[in-house]
Chain A
Amino acid sequence: MKAAWLAASVAFAAALVALWQVAADHGLVSRVFFPAPSRAFDFLGEWAASGELWGPLAGTIWRTLAGWLGATLLGVALGAAIASSAVTRDLFEPTVEFLRPMPSSAMIPPAILLLGLTDGMVVAVVVFGSIWPILLGAIHGFRSVEPRLMELARTLRMGRMHRLASIALPNALPEIFAGMRVSLAIALIITVVAEMLSSRPGLGQMILFAARNFRSAEIFAGVFLLGALGYFFNAVLERAERHFLRWRPAVGNG
């Protein structure tokens, strides 16, 4: 049943691409704006065959994952710190609240000045841009521990570490995961933007070069690849989430 729906869903996506192909073949859409998707796939094949693809693909993947994992670790640690006492909260929360809505792309020009056109710069911007959902999730998750459970911990005389490991962290986990999911998409997007603006070898740069040379088909090749990459990342994370959060009743996702 599930497999059937997945197949139908894939078929639907394929049908949309086919429709586009037909429109392009009959000149119904501009060759410059919307080249035939087959040409984009040709490019993908060419890149894969020549080996040109793998370096940038690996570069984008590593920068995305490095930034995202960095954001996760930092976000959870910072979240635990902020949630742990009223003083740390008062100390950091206003700064967090101010920085959070800051458009991460606006950080790229100063980041270039400070860190140069390095992978470190890209990763730093990715961390900055993708930490917020995780941080907010972690703060909320750590703070929202059911008071009844804290009372239970007191009654059982549980130690600080036991409490953190057995109660606080598992309690925050669903929200941390939710944040991580949002962050992953953000991390990928920021990586690409940062690669474009800093010309680190990656998919962003490939798209930039294609754009500089007005090669729409190559741009779409990059877009398809990024779509696939994002889909894949998300699927893997969803798996992990389903495993770690199996105690939660399935949310009408059947």
Chain B
Amino acid sequence: AQTKITIGYTGANTFVPAFVAKDKGFFAKNGLDVTLTRIPVGSTIPGALMANSLTVGTLTAPVFLAANDNGIELVIIAGASLQSKANPTAGVVAKTGSAIQKPADFVGKKVGAPGVNGLQDILFKKWLKNHNVDWKQVTFVDAPFPQMGAMIQGGQLDAALPVEPFVGRIVGTKAGYLVANYPVEVSDNYLESFYAVSKKWAQGNAAAIKGFRAALTEAVAFAKSNPDEAKKTQITYLGLPPEVVAALPLATFTVDVQPAQVAFWLDMSREFGLVKTALKTDDLVAK
């Protein structure tokens, strides 16, 4: 019998393999009956996993670690994407005419981040720190990706931390310019996003997890050889207009996750005071 699972995903293009796996029947082939649900606010996913309204949720490390730190026990079952120098999809964009060129120029400026203490926010702080800039002298403002361009143009922000396609859009309209792909300067090929489940579910569903990974592996391979067809899944699952989809490059996909990749995040979260309890990376990744 098929195992029924519901995957909750956010509006990012890093989950294309899951769309492909669903459309191409790779999930079904691996014994999974999958429903895909789009979740507008990513931080609600851990709660939904706990309450069993989702079986699998797409997450970034800060949210995942914060949940575990506060007693919501989740484990990673598969990776989704890496951020690599070869294919950087995130950067810091400054307002045209602002003369921001290097890390030190951000002091005293207002920077828009999607979710304070979120993924971009932490990486950017780390980047500043690596360049010996005190991130506490930078003002961070919560700003969703779609609004960043308008907020820069309107003078509410001096800079922002968008991902694609918003980086391209902002640069394209000449509202701002790319200063640096700071995430990949912090670390190359780090784990950017992944699929997680509640620990309880993971304990009873080893076979399903295996099948899930197999399906994704197949989907990643398919996407590599048929990038255009893979891209098109975003029209259905992300509701993006076709012209946007065509211009958008695919992310760097991954499936296997090693505890060391999580350790990178755990250390950084501890550094910024986001994790306070004694979490162990071995407990955070499903076997």
Contacts and interface: CB of A to CB of B under 8 A. Distances in A.
Any A–B CB pair closer than 8 Å: yes
A211 B41 CA distance: 12
Give the interface SS of chain B, mostly helix, strand, loop or mixed.
Answer: mixed
Interface stretch (B5-13, B62-70, B85-93): B62-70
A214 B47 CA distance: 8
Contacts, number: 49
Interface string B134-155: 0000000111100100110010
Contact of B66 (A31, A112, A205, A214): A214
Contact of B72 (A32, A198, A199): A32
A113 B146 CA distance: 9
Contacts of A211: 43
23 contacts: A31-B71, A32-B70, A32-B72, A112-B147, A116-B154, A117-B142, A117-B143, A117-B144, A117-B147, A117-B151, A199-B143, A209-B116, A211-B43, A212-B63, A212-B66, A213-B70, A213-B117, A213-B274, A214-B46, A214-B66, A214-B70, A214-B72, A216-B70
Interface in B187-202: none
A45 to B, nearest CB: 18
Interface in B247-266: none
B98 interface: no
A215 interface: yes
Contacts of A112: 147
B150 A116 contact: yes
Interface residues of B, number: 24
B203 interface: no
A7 B209 CA distance: 58
A205 B147 CA distance: 18
B115 interface: yes
Interface string A98-125: 0000000000000011001110000000
B70 A199 contact: no
Interface string A67-110: 00000000000000000000000000000000000000000000
